[in-house]
Amino acid sequence: MAERVNSQLRLAVALRDTRVRNLALRAEGLSPAALDALLTIVDEARKVQNLAPPEAGADGTEEPPAAST
């Protein structure tokens, strides 16, 4: 539960940036292949700028996979 709340808080903080919102809104409706290409570009840009990988699932979804109990 706490991990889900933390994930939602990270998303809320990110969406305060107009450029992040614009990027998300422009990406809406693109094919899965185009979205995957954009995720790859963003990941490479983060590497170039020496930023840590985002805390998301390996498939680029907002939340990491739930741990099995």
pTM: 0.65
pLDDT in tens, 14-56: 999 999 999 999 999 999 999 999 999 999 999 999 999 887 5
Distance (Å, rounded) from C-alpha 32 to C-alpha 36? 6
In a domain, 65, yes or no: no
Distance (Å, rounded) from C-alpha 29 to C-alpha 34? 10
- Residue 12 — very low, low, confident or very high, per pLDDT cuts 50/70/90? very high
In a domain, 18, yes or no: yes
pLDDT for the residue numbered 53: 86
- Residue 64 — very low, low, confident or very high, per pLDDT cuts 50/70/90? very low
In a domain, 62, yes or no: no
In a domain, 15, yes or no: yes
In a domain, 59, yes or no: no
User: What is the number of structural domains in the chain?
Assistant: 1
Domain range for 40 is: 2-48
